[in-house]
Amino acid sequence: MQVVSISSLKGGVGKTSVTLGLASAALDAGLRTLVVDLDPHADASTGLGINPAGREPIGLMLKNVRRSSINANAVPSSWTERHQKIVRSVQASQSDSKDDAAASDSEEADAGESKTAELAEGRLDVAYGSAFTGIYDRPDLRLRDLKRLKTVLSRVTGYDLVLIDCPPSLNGLTRMAWYASDKVLLVAETSLFSVAGTERTMRALNMFRREFAPSIQTAGVVANKYRPESGEHQFRLQEMSTMFGDALLSPVLPDIPDWQQIQGAAHAVHQWPTESARLSAVLLSELLEAVRNK
Ligand X SMILES: Nc1ncnc2c1ncn2[C@@H]1O[C@H](COP(=O)(O)OP(=O)(O)O)[C@@H](O)[C@H]1O
Binding mask 130-169 for ligand X (x = CB under 6 A): --------------------------------------x-
Instruction: Indicate whether 175 belongs to the interface with ligand X (CB under 6 A).
Output: no
CA distances from 121 to 84, 88, 149, 159, 160 (A): 9, 11, 26, 11, 11
Helices (H), the chain: 15-28, 43-47, 58-63, 70-73, 78-101, 106-120, 143-146, 148-154, 172-180, 192-211, 231-244, 259-264, 275-293
Choose among ligand X, Mg ion, none what residue 252 binds, the Cβ cut-off being 5 to 8 Å by kind: none
d(Cα 75, Cα 50) in Å, to the nearest integer?
7
Per CB under 5 A, residues contacting Mg ion are 15-16, 43
Q: Which is nearer to Mg ion, 43 or 199 (CB)?
A: 43
Choose among ligand X, Mg ion, none what residue 98 binds, the Cβ cut-off being 5 to 8 Å by kind: none
CA 273 from chain centre, in angstroms, equals: 21
Work out how close the CB of 187 gets to ligand X at its nearest, in angstroms, rounded to a whole number. Answer: 6
Binding mask 13-52 for ligand X (x = CB under 6 A): xxxxx-------------------------x---------
Binding-site size for ligand X (CB under 6 A) equals 17
For the CA atoms of 177, 183, 189, 193, the dihedral, rounded to the nearest 10 degrees, stands at: 60
Between vectors from CA 272 to CA 1 and to CA 266, what angle results, nearest 5°?
Answer: 70
User: Which residues in the 211-240 window bind ligand X by CB under 6 A?
Assistant: 224-225
3-state secondary structure of 46: helix
Q: Which is nearer to Mg ion, 15 or 98 (CB)?
A: 15
Q: Which residues bind ligand X (CB under 6 A)?
A: 11-17, 43, 168, 224-225, 253, 255-256, 259-260, 263
